[in-house]
Amino acid sequence: MQKINFNAGPAQLPPEVLHEAAQSVKQYKKTGMSVLELPHRGKEFLEILEESKTLVKKLCGIGHEYEVLWLQGGGRMQFCMIPMNFLLAGKNAGYIDSGHWSHEAAEYAMYYGNAQILASSQDSNYSRLPDWPQIPSDLAYLHVTTNNTICGTQWHSIPKTEVPLIADMSSDIFSAKTDYSRYPVFYAAVQKNLGAAGLALVVIRKDMLGKTPVILPPMLSYSMQAHENSILNTANVFGVYVSLLMLRWIDARGIDAIEKENIRKAALLYETIDNSTSFKAHVTEKAHRSLMNVCFTAVTTEVEQSFLAMCEKNNITGVKGHRSVGGLRVSLYNAVTYGQVEELVDLMKSV
């Protein structure tokens, strides 16, 4: 029996997507081959790649001025590639430290060059967003994490800046309307709203490609990856295919409808927590709360234990908080339904 899966990633995927992926593992279209066996330079995969790129641009409302890449190594590989490609000698990069992953992104950049944390909410255990700092106008780029998966905060709007804005959108891409054209570079590890773990979607404005140094090994160079259409080495054929199925699913629903549903789901859960005597929200500042990852604690360890046992008994999984912070976390990515959240809140009310 399929569980209700509230994990933060790898996360729940829509049943239709799982069904089609499973069929294609048996046989892809009428090729007589599994999708797992498709050659990465063959006609079928090139079609998958092209359609995925077209859909990403459509969903982002961007055009030919951008390149769409599917790169291996997940989110953390992008923590490496961004400074390697854009933090050139003599330049500084700025990082907004609003959570575990933004901190790690900054640390990775520090291995490579001069990266500075310009604002941080680490002292509040990331239970709020930091105040937006003054941004030096000569930065190579400013890096921001739009949704903080582990502590449950989200930037619902980001102030204008003059320097190139690079965003990690791993846990909220395609969850709500946003102006993607503000970002010359944005990326997302795909295992939340966009597919199977191991890949990252990277979207880069073409003028940024010209800034990358020529001395990088090709695998780590955005301009080489763009030049080779993300198939510089053997591509993750299955990963890109599952992401395409997710993109089709998102496109069929439309971002407007997805956003409305995500607001409804999060409102129901936060309201239940705020009105409860058993649970407390980690993020008290309502404007900073994430629609994707809802973090909270039980008032006592006994309440936490009995709630987790009830979840287990009722076929609900993935509600334990990240190992670094503890407590509870419920992830409400696009594939999670309102009905599933209702089932969860009914349990919470009965603790």
H/E stretch holding 328 reads strand 328-331
123 is catalytic: no
Q: Smallest distance from the beta carbon of 26 to ligand PMP, in angstroms? A: 28
Nearer to ligand PMP, 9 or 184 (CB): 9
Contact 78, 238 (CB under 8 A): no
* Contacting range for ligand PMP; rule: CB under 6 A; set: 106-114, 136-144, 168-176, 317-325: 168-176
Nearest CB to ligand PMP, comparing residues 48 and 169 = 169
Q: With beta carbons less than 8 A apart as the criterion, state whether 329 and 8 touch.
A: yes
Task: Find out whether 195 and 216 touch, Cβ atoms under 8 Å.
Answer: no
Q: Does residue 76 bind ligand PMP (CB under 6 A)? A: yes
Candidates 74, 83, 94, 152; binder of ligand PMP (CB under 6 A) is 74
Distances (CA, A) of 18 to 15, 47, 67, 266: 5, 20, 28, 24
* Min CB(21)–ligand PMP separation in Å: 19
195 binds ligand PMP (CB under 6 A): no
Residue 168 catalytic? yes
In 3-state terms, what secondary structure has residue 259?
Answer: helix
Helix (H, G, I), strand (E, B) or coil at 43: helix
Angle at 193 between CA 189 and CA 194, to 5 degrees: 65
DSSP for residue 20: H
| Part of the chain binding ligand PMP (CB under 6 A), chosen from 33-41, 164-172, 211-219, 314-322 | 164-172
Task: Please report whether residue 101 would count as binding ligand PMP according to CB under 6 A.
Answer: yes
Q: Which is nearer to ligand PMP, 140 or 167 (CB)?
A: 167
Residue whose CB is nearest to ligand PMP in the complex, by number: 74
Which one from 53, 57, 101, 249 is the annotated catalytic residue?
101
Tokens of 232: 């510089």
CB 324, CB 286: distance < 8 Å: no
Q: Binding of ligand PMP at residue 9 (CB under 6 A)?
A: yes
145 vs 212, beta carbon nearer ligand PMP: 145
- 2 DSSP 8-state letter: P
- Can you tell me which of 97, 168, 261, 304 binds ligand PMP, judged by CB under 6 A? 168
Contact with ligand PMP (CB under 6 A): which of 135, 189, 203, 209?
Answer: 189
Verify cis geometry, omega within 30 degrees of 0, for the bond prior to 133.
no
Choosing from 5, 52, 121, 149, the residue that interacts with ligand PMP (CB under 6 A) is 149
Query: In whole angstroms, how close is the CB of 338 to ligand PMP at the nearest point?
Result: 23
Nearest 5°: the CA angle 249, 79, 214 is 105
**Per-residue b/e over 94-123, b at no fewer than 16 CB within 10 Å?**
bbbbbbbbbbbbbebbeeebebebbbbbee
**Binding region for ligand PMP (CB under 6 A):** 9, 74-76, 101, 145, 149, 168, 170-171, 189
* Residues annotated as part of the active site: 101, 168, 192
